[in-house]
Structure 1
């Protein structure tokens, strides 16, 4: 990946975070921490990897994306808007009663969304079904999904993991957002899921560890995943909850909620400075 592409993807991730921050402030609620930790993953997928067409969101041969951690909509909606699926101005209607942009991601009203989500733990099952359908139909599309590390405490994740390996779904890539925090505290204290990579390998998956906030590391991991035949790939993404804003980073209180006016001002200024640096 050349330097210009790296800079462009980092800039897009920073813009996503700024739009997400604005949307949460307008809505008076939202999930900052997990949304901010996946910005680089979304940037790489939507602006470099996935074969998609904003003018034809239901294109049969498109790559599919499943946000299993369905509450992390602020950056996901921002990615879709910046990619051209709907106007960026719509982001300010986030969570409004008459808006299409609900708090949990919804495919019925939002172009570019491949699965509606609410309860955690279900997305990998859907992604597995999509990947199996692609294999059955002789299609070349790939399926990508993102779960949280707290989310993989759900048993359904492991049923789906077993099925994906059984059907040899090498067109499926799962990102685990391993930011080490969930609603009630540290994942290691609530219900440890470690070692994540070894667990997936035991279920028959190819497992890769990567810095999930580094676009070059993510790109390299995806290159490696595409070379694997006969098994699905999990990329365990070591991330920082609230990444990109110093007052949010690593804070469990930012799983959900809204910054104060002063916190918003501080966060916005920090993101603005980062965008200006990358644009310069």
Structure 2
């Protein structure tokens, strides 16, 4: 049984399943990007066809760049996402290390309390969050979005990273303590490099909801100077008329950072997801 679990067949099967899932998941992305380079008539006539000499059009991208400040929206989304992701990974990893490494009274209850954030959507507290931001003077600021997204991503990050950190050898950490390393150096130099696959997994699954979110930018930062790219794309969607060329072009440009992040962390992501399946 042990040999079967460690056989190359199981590892190859897990990778094949992930590749198949990736192809299925990227199909809607393919449809969006393809139709972004077609005329309006071609979009509705043959939505799955590739653009040709007759249907090719850049009117959507021209509209996006001319109407509204798309570059500012893109910058706001990038700043909010990158800063939130950094804070989630940093504080999530530190909290996970504390929960998995140290035994103290209330350790289990603290873990359960943090896990509640996974089961209870943060949007249920939208009214209270809005009141808090108004009282703090943070409405229509990127700081408000960063604070909310950091709080939203921490429970899942702590839950995943704590499981991986429990697998780090105690002998390695004790050897570091014997050599005189502080707990911070043990955390940053010994533990974090060993949980890079888990960090990459958390990074990808944390970034996508933040980048694509419309709810909190609409509630907390709807001003023109703080709009995110997802909120900014809504200007092309009207109650009676929708500029589909512009919408698809804006979505195509918004997809790029997510794809770049996935390509950068793809190997670590696959290792993080399959590590429990192929051991």
Q: Same fold (TM over 0.5)?
A: no
Q: Which protein is richer in strand relative to its size?
A: 1
Larger radius of gyration: 2
Question: Which TM-score band applies after superposition, normalised by the shorter structure?
Answer: under 0.3
Query: Which structure has more helix as a fraction of its residues?
Result: 2
Scaled by the length of structure 1, the TM-score of the pair is: 0.24
TM-score (normalizing by structure 2)? 0.24
